[in-house]
Structure 1
Amino acid sequence: MARAAQPPATIELAQVLDRGTTRAVALWLEVVPDPVEREEQIAALTPEHLRVLDGLLDAETGEELVSTLDPLAAGELLIGIGVPTAGLILNELNTDLAADILRELPPDDRETLLSAVPADQALVLRGLLSWPEHSSAAHMIPDVLTVEAQSTAAAAIDSVRSGAAHLRADSQSGGYVYVVDGNGRLGGVVAFRALVLAPADALVADLMDDDVLAVSPLDDPEKSARLLLDHRLLAIPVVDGERRILGIITADAAADIAEEEATEDAERQGGSQPLDVPYLRASPWLLWRKRVVWLLVLFVAEAYTSSVLQAFEDELEAVVVLAFFIPLLIGTGGNTGTQITSTLVRAMATGQVRLRNIGRVVVKELSTAGLIAVAMAGAGLIRAFTLGVGWQIMLVVSLSLAAIVLWAALIASILPLLLQKTRVDPAVVSAPMIATIVDGTGLLIYFLIAKALLPELAGL
């Protein structure tokens, strides 16, 4: 039997640089396509190797390498090599990616690299960097093709052709031509295809769609990306207060924004602040800073659970067997709430659910929780029976499980929507906080039901 072909061994960049040829660097890029592995090998380079790499990178290989790296790693690489080469590579990158990389650098390093970029491109990059990082304008491409409404299709095509000749190769105009008035205010949009296929004497005003979606420069980028993706657009214009076009957000940029926001939401749902750097580059100190504050908040919030246990100390002493089921009960409540918030927060992030839907959400989740409560109550009944605790304790455990499941569902259905209304990110208080709230309140439910049903606790 023929042996299966073995994958080629990984080539170390340091060994490639020792050969000192541009062809060797190009070969390394082919053999090592994984961005993470590239970052790790680049991070291991000595200053001497970086100087060698500086002499071997050209515009093509430099652009291919830097565009696959995390912006922070890409910025560190550009600072580590010579300024002329870094400027050459930076000028070859997509404008939005170049801005993302520069935004990660200290101001002095940023200015050093900008000084090596052609003046016109440096002006564009400075314009993008002037906007807040978490704004729609920070993710836009400034190059936009525009025509006037009273132009004929033939004149508009000539204008687009002339304008396109001055666009960068990475402009990604999005397949649209935007229609403006004499003051540059957005009036409509027409697709390239419609413009090209129209009769030469047709007016742009008759071809355009004047119901054009647009976003403001300071809008949340996630909101803008969601608007673009929901309407399946190729691009969406960014306009100022007078509806003058500042740039466009493309579908590619929207996909990147959505992915980044989904990652941040996932981190927040775990009770941690977003890292802002790749995980493997995060130091223990950074991880500690991102996690410890929220853990301390949860610790303080969880402290009332011990107060509840202390308040019902007499009941526990009278019926010690009640303590056997505490982990089971609070664990079930926390798990129920976590399931709901994970689904609900994601639905809110994608615009499927808003505060006005709170009634439908509560009814839906309580209906579901009712069915779950029956199943969990039955499971609790069986578990209590196997421990031989008596029918009264079995009934207390069964009813408590059902009540806690319903209570957890109610809290998890309402809290994220209310937090969003108060402009608090619901992701940061979802799973851990819901579990913490349900822990203490679930114990209250458990002991109150026990006091109501167990004769031993009468009068306590």
Structure 2
Amino acid sequence: MLIKTLVNELRGLIASKDGDALRRFFVIGNPGLNAEVLSHLDVAEIVEILRYIDPLYGAELFAHLPAEQQRIVVDSLSRRRLILLVAAMPHDDRVDLLKRMPDEEREAILPGLAQAERDDILKLSSYAEGTAGSIMTSEYVALSAHMTVAEAIAKLRAEAPDAETIYYAYVVDENRRLRGLVSLKDLILAPSHKKVEAIMNADVIFARADEDQEEAVRKIAKYDLLALPVINGNEALVGIITHDDAMDVAHEEATEDFHKSGTVGKIEGSLKTAGAWLLYRKRVFWLVVLVFGNIFSGAGIAYFEDTIASYVALVFFLPLLIDSGGNAGSQAATLMVRALATGEVVMRDWVKMLGREVLVATGLGLTMAVAVSGLGLFRGGPEIALVVASTMVVVVVVGSLIGMSLPFALTKLKFDPATASAPLITSIADAAGVIIYFTIATAILPGLA
């Protein structure tokens, strides 16, 4: 309701072309909230607002807009206004914007920027996607260990307008090698004549520019950091990853893993704006693969035709049993994929986890066997009940072990463990369940062994 009210108010100000009132509207309020209000407007209205408000604040608002909306707004801006917008944007956000633009548009913008800005863009763009370097910003405050506290505070005050955060400042030597960290609180509380090196923390948590961005995000979460410094191969400080950027990465990675768990490839932009052809291409491969995978289930059923013909009651329990194995496997896989993603579990834990999963799955299987044995007794008699109960225990154990082990196997093979998705686990467990079920039936039921 608040957003709708603010949108209507903003549209009234645009219609009146009252520049002063528009500027006052955006002076108050959180930039994130204002950007959300902005996202509900038409592109022409957003462009009109950007004409009136302060360029620096306009760039901050623009950076908060969804990527697909940014792209549409960019297409509606003149080259001059676009250059001003890009120049005023936070360093990491403008690099992300330029990466999404076609080469010819990007090449048209870069010459209009100052040399220092072009160099910064090229440096930040040089890091491979998915690395810590690709999500860092160069907007940080660096101090010398030999500065006094008074000098450090003066430098913070001078660089604060351009810094992503001033709550942390990083202490570097003459070669920009990271030596320590000092917080704004420590600087304010320390005597003005004291040296920075006397109050800095030399034990700094950092990321390397070429390490996986997920590992950098885990460090920020684990150590509850506002920002994480990033160093290159020469141990020199090259940027920082802020907490808000880490949250964005965590959100993107979680979304990507969720899509993979449904055997859907990565979808750029949002599902709302994705085209039918894109969604078809992202979903068709694994569906076709799993169709052929399910042939093994059909082959297993065909192989045991005589068993089925002799005891038709077995067919009644087939979906129940194989689904139970697939469900148990999907549960185990979900738990293990998440544990591997968060670093709670590593490759060397596989044997320990395997032993525990056998115990847990056996308990689950026995419980489910007791639950289904009464139905087996009612539908087919004692022999069928014994087959169904025995099969339930085995398929739950086998399905759980497949679901738990597959993420480890994929990690070992350098694949994303999120690929060990529910449909894939279910298809494998289904084929195994069919063979287990009818093998047990053939061994136990009279006249079949």
Scaled to the shorter chain, the TM-score interval is 0.7 to 0.9
**Hey, what's the Cα distance between the residues in 1 that align with 2:18 and 2:100?**
30
**Hey, what's the Cα distance between the residues in 1 that align with 2:132 and 2:370?**
51
The answer to whether structure 1 residue 409 and structure 2 residue 400 are counterparts is yes
Deviations 1:359-387 (A, max 9, x none): 3322332222222112211222133244x
**Hey, what's the Cα distance between the residues in 1 that align with 2:187 and 2:170?**
11
Task: Quote the offset at 1:117 in angstroms.
Answer: 4.3
1:223-302 aligned within 5 A:
223-302=215-294
**Hey, what's the Cα distance between the residues in 2 that align with 1:40 and 1:330?**
48
Correspondence for 1:212? 204
The answer to whether structure 1 residue 434 and structure 2 residue 425 are counterparts is yes
**Hey, what's the Cα distance between the residues in 2 that align with 1:176 and 1:298?**
51
Q: 1:430 to 1:106 in 2, by over 3 A?
A: same
Correspondence for 1:367? 359
- The counterpart of 1:352, out of the listed 297, 322, 344, is 344
The answer to whether structure 1 residue 100 and structure 2 residue 93 are counterparts is no
The answer to whether structure 1 residue 142 and structure 2 residue 134 are counterparts is no
Q: 1:72 to 1:343 in 2, by over 3 A?
A: same
Larger mean Cα displacement after TM superposition, 263-272 or 70-79:
70-79
Task: Quote the offset at 1:65 in angstroms.
Answer: 4.8
Q: Which amino acid aligns with 2:202?
A: D
Correspondence for 2:154? 161
Correspondence for 1:333? 325
What are the ranges of 5 or more consecutive residues in structure 2 without an aligned counterpart? Answer: none
Task: Quote the offset at 1:211 in angstroms.
Answer: 2.4
Q: 1:62 to 1:159 in 2, by over 3 A?
A: closer
Task: Quote the offset at 1:347 in angstroms.
Answer: 1.6
What are the ranges of 5 or more consecutive residues in structure 1 without an aligned counterpart? Answer: none
Correspondence for 1:59? 55
Larger mean Cα displacement after TM superposition, 337-346 or 195-204:
195-204
Correspondence for 1:172? 165
Deviations 1:185-239 (A, max 9, x none): 1122232322333344544334333222221212111111111210112221111
The answer to whether structure 1 residue 445 and structure 2 residue 436 are counterparts is yes
**Hey, what's the Cα distance between the residues in 1 that align with 2:147 and 2:123?**
33
Task: Quote the offset at 1:298 in angstroms.
Answer: 2.0
Q: 1:165 to 1:61 in 2, by over 3 A?
A: closer
**Hey, what's the Cα distance between the residues in 1 that align with 2:375 and 2:10?**
60
Q: 1:58 to 1:199 in 2, by over 3 A?
A: closer
Task: Quote the offset at 1:245 in angstroms.
Answer: 0.5
Q: 1:414 to 1:170 in 2, by over 3 A?
A: same
Task: Quote the offset at 1:10 in angstroms.
Answer: 7.0
SS in structure 2 opposite 1:222? helix
Task: Quote the offset at 1:241 in angstroms.
Answer: 1.0
Larger mean Cα displacement after TM superposition, 244-253 or 296-305:
296-305
Identity among equivalent pairs (%): 31
Task: Quote the offset at 1:419 in angstroms.
Answer: 1.4
- The counterpart of 2:448, out of the listed 448, 451, 457, is 457
In 2, are the aligned partners of 1:13 and 1:41 still within 8 Å (CA)?
no
Task: Quote the offset at 1:122 in angstroms.
Answer: 3.8
The answer to whether structure 1 residue 392 and structure 2 residue 383 are counterparts is yes
Q: 1:162 to 1:260 in 2, by over 3 A?
A: same
Task: Quote the offset at 1:311 in angstroms.
Answer: 1.8
Larger mean Cα displacement after TM superposition, 120-129 or 223-232:
120-129
Correspondence for 1:68? 64
**Hey, what's the Cα distance between the residues in 2 that align with 1:234 and 1:25?**
32
In 2, are the aligned partners of 1:57 and 1:85 still within 8 Å (CA)?
no
**Hey, what's the Cα distance between the residues in 2 that align with 1:248 and 1:86?**
26
- The counterpart of 1:195, out of the listed 187, 192, 195, is 187
Aligned length: 445
Larger mean Cα displacement after TM superposition, 301-310 or 188-197:
188-197
SS in structure 1 opposite 2:267? coil
TM-score (norm 2): 0.88
Task: Quote the offset at 1:331 in angstroms.
Answer: 0.9
Larger mean Cα displacement after TM superposition, 190-199 or 325-334:
190-199
Q: Which amino acid aligns with 2:336?
A: L
Q: Which amino acid aligns with 2:419?
A: V
- The counterpart of 1:78, out of the listed 74, 78, 83, is 74
SS in structure 1 opposite 2:207? coil
Correspondence for 2:412? 421
**Hey, what's the Cα distance between the residues in 1 that align with 2:164 and 2:386?**
68
**Hey, what's the Cα distance between the residues in 1 that align with 2:119 and 2:99?**
15
In 2, are the aligned partners of 1:135 and 1:217 still within 8 Å (CA)?
yes
TM-score (norm 1): 0.86
Q: 1:202 to 1:98 in 2, by over 3 A?
A: same
In 1, are the aligned partners of 2:178 and 2:237 still within 8 Å (CA)?
yes
